[in-house]
A and B are shown apart, each in its own frame.
Chain A
Amino acid sequence: MKYTRFEKARIIGARALQLSMGAPALIKIPKDVILPIDIAMLEFKEGVIPITVRRMKGKERSRSRGQL
């Protein structure tokens, strides 16, 4: 599946948060890569992040949020 730039940003962001809270990296990371975001981007490039998106359309999409 090809991700849109929003989906890509969201996945990398979520993974970077996990990494920053101490999750182990899923691939071998070069010594000089330290920032969680950089690690997440490397992982994304490799396609090892176990996260994907749920695509919804129409009603389902707008109902995915809380209502007043």
Chain B
Amino acid sequence: MAVDTSEIRKEIKKIVGKKFLPLKIIDELVEKSVKENLTKEQIRELVKRTIEIYERNLIDPSEACGIVGAQSIGEPGTQMTMRTFHYAGVAEINVTLGLPRLIEIVDARSIPSTPMMNIYLKDKYRKNAELAKKVANQIELTELNEIAEIETDLTDLTITVKPDKDTLNKKGLTIEELFEIIKKMKKISAEIRGDEIFIALDEPSYKNLLDISEKLKLLKVKGVEGINRVIIRNEPGEGYVIYSEGSNLEEVLKIEGVDPYRTITNDVQAVGRVLGIEAARNMIIQEAYNTLSEQGLNVDKRHIMLVADIMTVDGSIKAIGRHGVSGEKASVLSRAAFEITVNHLLDAGRRGEKDTLEGVSENIIVGQPVNLGTGAIQLVMKREKMKRD
């Protein structure tokens, strides 16, 4: 089969020739032609018509696509419910959706208000409940006070940690492992006595005792920082999938058994940090599109793609609005038209800034045709026609 596709791909590329089709469409054509077992003649016709439709759908140069995009997202946005709290799927994880989520995406917040992850597992792990559980245990953050009782002895100024055997087993920990973790703490000396861990202070005092016992309670024994709760579900056709409340892409990807290619988080900034700007762009598109269609609003994907492109052009994720795109515009007049007009003009004057009048609002302000649509077209006389007369 693999040899077959390359042959067909070459054929299709030959038919496309000097014209243009995006790679993704060519891929789709190859796939379809193989699947339907098309003859050369049929492929030729298919490609020809695809090019025709593709060219008809192309946008004209100097079309005001930004404004059209803004309207096309803005209008359905007014239909969105102001405040919706929704529980994703069957799992009891609370996820911000609707308008608040859309605002969050567009503002490029560093941490979403309800971070969550869908953690997919590698083949070996996703079919096996035991292994999936093991991975989940490594991900869920466990503090010492969840698995053990911490008793302070005020007369001896000592602390005793009494782990609960059942929960310890459930988390796949042994008392030795627990001891190793506790031993790393500063200013104490610990030892195992039977089922308990006995802790003596290096500098015994009431204040130290209190401090240390508080620290012990919050001691991270297992799991990934930031992930407070995980739910394992058996998805039909997929196997076990871990859903988590809280997100930490960097650390979760390091865990053995996690499939790094499919695991996703709703934290766009984290995606940008870990997987790169292109991944972040795709993430913005997907998240925004899903939030809109979840509310029953059909916005064309290309409008959202434009927004995502603008947010990620320079390699970092910028917000739409004051602190991002609008505030960083190169043109003084454009910034002044957006917000705090006087300050922007004053600062620009002091710095001696130059405005090249390339944008829309600048040209409107100075009163000349805008560089869009018919306004962007320069007419010239047809010389050869003149000579003939």
Residues of A within 8 A of B (CB): 4-7, 9-11, 13-14, 49-54, 56, 61-68
Contacts and interface: CB of A to CB of B under 8 A. Distances in A.
A51 B357 contact: no
Interface string B36-75: 0000000000000000000000001111000000000000
Given A65-B363, A68-B357, A6 B382 contact: no
B379 A68 contact: no
B371 A62 contact: yes
A52 B374 contact: no
A41 to B, nearest CB: 15
A59 to B, nearest CB: 10
Nearest to A68: B355
Given A6-B60, A62-B356, A67-B356, A50 B371 contact: no
22 contacts: A4-B60, A6-B61, A6-B62, A6-B377, A10-B374, A14-B379, A50-B381, A50-B382, A51-B379, A51-B380, A51-B381, A52-B380, A53-B379, A54-B378, A61-B371, A61-B376, A63-B356, A66-B366, A66-B368, A67-B354, A67-B355, A67-B357
A51 B368 CA distance: 22
- Between B354, B366, B374, the greatest number of chain A beta carbons within 10 A of the residue's beta carbon is seen for B374
A10 B357 contact: no
Nearest to A9: B374
Contacts of A11: 379
Contacts of A53: 377-380
B368 A65 contact: yes
Given A62-B356, A62-B358, A7 B377 contact: yes
B296 interface: no
A10 to B, nearest CB: 4
A38 B385 CA distance: 22
Contacts of B62: 4, 6
A53 B378 CA distance: 6
A66 B61 contact: no
Nearest to A13: B374
Nearest to B385: A50
Interface string B300-337: 00000000000000000000000000000000010000
Given A13-B374, A66-B368, 19 more contacts: A4-B62, A6-B62, A6-B377, A11-B379, A50-B381, A51-B382, A52-B380, A54-B379, A61-B376, A62-B356, A62-B358, A63-B356, A66-B357, A66-B366, A67-B355, A67-B357, A68-B355, A68-B356, A68-B357
Contacts of B363: 65
B218 to A, nearest CB: 58
**Interface pairs A-B: 6 shortest CB-CB:** A4-B60, A50-B385, A62-B358, A54-B378, A10-B377, A50-B382
A17 to B, nearest CB: 11
Given A4-B60, A4-B61, A65-B357, A52 B373 contact: no
Contacts of B60: 4-6
Contacts of A50: 381-382, 385-386
A34 B373 CA distance: 28
A13 B373 CA distance: 13
Contact of B382 (A14, A52, A66): A52
A10 B61 CA distance: 14
Contacts of A68: 333, 354-357, 362, 366
Contacts of A13: 374
Interface in B111-150: none
B254 to A, nearest CB: 44
A6 B381 contact: no
Nearest to B355: A68
Contact of A65 (B61, B354, B371): B371
